[in-house]
């Protein structure tokens, strides 16, 4: 059955220890302010109209996908001769995708496990929730390179990782329990300049942190509102040297 991404999840808010939502070069800045200004009001809906506009329209290929949930693969007109489509190609039926997994509006995809480190690394994508389904699928865009420094982390975790080569980025999926704001603190080695970009569970940017220079700590505070949630934190090397850093998740006192 064709699946749809959940675009209405809210409840992950970024509060800054230094400077929240001062975007550092990401091209999706227009949504930052609205989301951060949300202030944690669960149920507030972010208007995704603009964001959706960047997506190519769904190719219907003469098949009316409509809004019903019937399995298009059972229809005689469901383009049986269309060759298997690759990840990201437009689709209107699971049968059109090599993966047999079609996302309405987002093309051929695959399922993913949110608890795995950077589960959609190969697709350069986020692992985001499905609508009306407990599962997740790879969608949207994020390029973190190919190393395996990525991790799923929660309060009490402290990891040492490296930023090599110069433009390296590592993804951390940070668990944030209901009513327990957490600080994510990145401490680089001397001479290493790091920046943090934060995204909510549906891959919307909610904050960017880069107030320190080489060797300077970058940190953000995240709150989940009324349900357990998580935030994607991308640690980037924005300096001129490669080296190590520590990332830790601490309960906000």
Residues near Ca ion (CB under 5 A) are 147, 149, 168, 170, 193, 210, 212
Q: Report the nearest approach of Ca ion to the CB of residue 167 (Å).
A: 10
Q: SS3 for 56? A: coil
Could you tell me which residues are beta bridge partners of residue 162?
244
Which residue's structure tokens are 């409509």? 66
What is 182-236 written as a DSSP string? EEEEEEEPTT--EEEEEE-TTS-EEEEE----TT--EEEEEE-TTS-EEEEEEEE
Q: Report the nearest approach of Ca ion to the CB of residue 192 (Å).
A: 9
Nearer to Ca ion, 38 or 193 (CB): 193
Nearer to Ca ion, 80 or 191 (CB): 191
Nearer to Ca ion, 102 or 186 (CB): 186
Chain residue at closest Cβ approach to Ca ion: 149
> Which two structure tokens, joined as six digits, stand for 178?
């209901």
Distant-in-sequence, close-in-space partners of 149: CB < 8 Å, separation ≥ 6: 161, 162, 170
> 102: exposed, middle or buried (C-beta count within 10 Å: 0-12, 13-18, 19+)?
buried
8 A C-beta contact, residue 199 and residue 22:
no
Nearer to Ca ion, 19 or 58 (CB): 19
Q: Report the nearest approach of Ca ion to the CB of residue 190 (Å).
A: 13
Nearer to Ca ion, 149 or 197 (CB): 149
Q: Report the nearest approach of Ca ion to the CB of residue 147 (Å).
A: 4
Q: Report the nearest approach of Ca ion to the CB of residue 124 (Å).
A: 15
């Amino acid at each position: 059955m064709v699946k749809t991404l959940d675009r209405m999840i809210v409840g992950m808010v970024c509060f800054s220890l230094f400077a929240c939502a001062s975007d550092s070069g990401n091209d999706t800045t227009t949504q930052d302010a609205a989301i951060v200004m949300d202030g944690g009001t669960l149920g507030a809906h972010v208007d995704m109209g603009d964001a959706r506009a960047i997506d190519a329209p769904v190719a219907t290929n003469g098949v009316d996908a409509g809004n019903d949930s019937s399995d298009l693969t059972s229809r005689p007109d469901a383009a049986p001769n269309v060759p298997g489509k690759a990840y990201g190609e437009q689709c209107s039926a699971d049968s059109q995708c090599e993966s047999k997994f079609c996302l309405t509006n987002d093309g051929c995809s695959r399922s993913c496990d949110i608890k795995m480190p950077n589960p959609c690394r190969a697709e350069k994508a986020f692992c985001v929730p499905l609508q009306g389904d407990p599962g997740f699928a790879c969608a949207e865009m994020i390029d973190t390179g190919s190393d395996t420094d990525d991790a799923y982390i929660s309060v009490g975790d402290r990891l040492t990782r490296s930023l090599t080569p110069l433009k390296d980025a590592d993804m951390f999926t940070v668990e944030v329990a209901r009513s327990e704001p957490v600080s994510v603190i990145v401490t680089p080695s001397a001479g290493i300049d790091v920046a943090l970009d934060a995204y909510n569970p549906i891959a919307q940017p909610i904050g960017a942190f880069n107030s320190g220079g080489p060797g300077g700590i970058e940190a953000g505070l995240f709150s989940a509102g009324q349900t357990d949630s998580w935030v994607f934190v991308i640690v980037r090397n924005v300096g001129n040297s490669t080296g190590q850093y520590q990332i830790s998740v601490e309960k906000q006192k």
